[in-house]
Amino acid sequence: MARFFTIWAGQAFSLIGSGLVQFALVWWLTLHTGSATVLATASLVGVLPEVVLGPLAGACVDRWNRRAVLILADGMVAAVSAALAILAWSGHLAVWHVYVAMTVRSIGGSFHWPAMQASTALMVPHEHLTRVAGVNQTMHGALRIISPPLGALLVAALPMHGIMAVDVGTAALAIFPLLVIAIPQPTRTPEAEGATTLAALVANMRAGLMYVWRWPAIMIAIGIGMVINLFFDPSFALLPLLITRHMGGQAIHLGTANSAYAIGMVAGGLLLSVWGGFRNAALTDLLGVVGQGLGLMAVGLSPDGALWAVIVGMLLTGVTNVMTNGPLNALLQRVVEPRMHGRVFTVVSSGCGAMAPLGLAIAGPITDTIGLRPWYIATGFVLAAVGLAGMRSRLLMHIEEDTASASRPAPEAEARVGSAIEASR
């Protein structure tokens, strides 16, 4: 545990640096372009690599040395920040440089996250994994609270190349423990080797798709998640413009709005852990969707200069975001067969996550044409309507009673998985 938390502390510093850089780059784009399309594109290039490379990265991490993957990923972050520091210092930093940097950082994150999660399971005793997961959630929530205002202070106090240098330093703090502490490697079995071949991966994906396709309630849940991501993610990408154009705010005001959302998430998590939600988890989830819609609608309806109204809306959105995601994950864990957990969660996350890049691609041009407020108001209305419509779905509201779908086999898909693994041997 001491070795693990030494590595964990280094990674925590790296996350702080990444949060500061992300805030600084978004603010730089806001001041230098004032374009919703540019901000949406920046978010798009930061999300798309993780959506596309996620399954491949997980398979590679299982085959490669995990310490080497972590060092390489952190090294990529340091190298990109160093390059941006040089460009900013020389006065040659351009928008396309930021796009490239965000893309490379996202590629590194695609490999870093599964490598760290897999390493944790090998370094931490199983009886303490839940506690470590709680520590991680607390850290991420705290970082979301402190990173925006800290980033705003640094933007005011340091030039861009100085902020980039801070990120290089925090990445170095993450790399150093990895150079001196070994991370155990899993024992590779013939089955595991076969399961990472292309044929076996495709067969496993097909089995998961067939399992979900035959369960209408899960398909409805995925559809709701896709609608949420289509509208929700762009709303965050466009927040800097809302703050500057309609609230007359500066970096510190954007940081305050982002921190309000993070505080809402922490409060929602504490509330959910104590309360546990309604007995019907689907009801808790759908009320969370409605609450997110009301929160974003409040942001869109905020009068010019009424930053407090934006903060209240973001706070409500943060609380209800936890109410949406937490019960849904627990619900799927209960109703889906354990042998299908990985595949079903991959289908759900991929289906929902794929809509975020699409939303980012269309939100920029639309808001440049019709304005920012209509987007937030429309997003709030759509989310509230989807949540209320979901409550009228008998299939979704009674998903935990739908044992017929849960026990319905997919023999042809399972047979293909076995055949693919046998062929790979």
Give the pLDDT score at 54: 61
Domain 1-186, architecture per CATH: Up-down Bundle (1.20)
Q: Find, among 309, 303, 307, 313, the residue nearest to 253 by Cα.
A: 307
Confidence of residue 425 (pLDDT cuts 50, 70, 90): very low
- List where CATH 1.20.1250.20 sits in the chain: 1-186, 215-407
| Structure tokens that stand for 231 in this block | 């509208």
Q: In terms of pLDDT, which residue wins out, 190 or 99? A: 99
For 249-293, what is each residue's pLDDT tens digit?
777 788 788 888 888 887 887 777 777 778 887 888 899 999 999
Give dist(CA 142, CA 12) in Å, integer: 11
Is the model's pLDDT at 78 over the cut of 50?
A: yes
In SS3 terms, the chain reads as CHHHHHHHHHHHHHHHHHHHHHHHHHHHHHHHHCCHHHHHHHHHHHHHHHHHHHHHHHHHHHHCCHHHHHHHHHHHHHHHHHHHHHHHHHCCCCHHHHHHHHHHHHHHHHHHHHHHHHHHHHHCCHHHHHHHHHHHHHHHHHHHHHHHHHHHHHHHHCCHHHHHHHHHHHHHHHHHHHHHCCCCCCCCCHHHHHHCCHHHHHHHHHHHHHHHHCCHHHHHHHHHHHHHHHHHHHHHHCHHHHHHHHCCCCHHHHHHHHHHHHHHHHHHHHHHHHHCCCCCHHHHHHHHHHHHHHHHHHHHHCCCCCHHHHHHHHHHHHHHHHHHHHHHHHHHHHHCCHHHHHHHHHHHHHHHHCHHHHHHHHHHHHHHHHCHHHHHHHHHHHHHHHHHHHHCCHHHHCHHHCHHHHCCCCHHHHHHHHHHHHHHC
Give the pLDDT score at 271: 79
Q: Which range (18-32, 237-251, 267-281) has the least confidence?
A: 267-281
Is the model's pLDDT at 56 over the cut of 50?
A: yes
Q: In terms of pLDDT, which residue wins out, 134 or 310? A: 310
Give the pLDDT score at 389: 93
Confidence of residue 297 (pLDDT cuts 50, 70, 90): very high
Give the pLDDT score at 118: 66
Question: Which whole number is the average pLDDT over 222-240?
Answer: 85
Give the pLDDT score at 410: 47
Give the pLDDT score at 317: 92
Provide the mean pLDDT of the chain.
Answer: 77
Confidence of residue 382 (pLDDT cuts 50, 70, 90): very high
Give dist(CA 291, CA 153) in Å, integer: 31
CB atoms within 10 A of CB 168: 18
Which residues 6+ apart lie within 8 Å of 300 measured at CB?
372, 373, 374, 375, 376, 377, 379, 380
Q: What is the CATH number of domain 215-407?
A: 1.20.1250.20
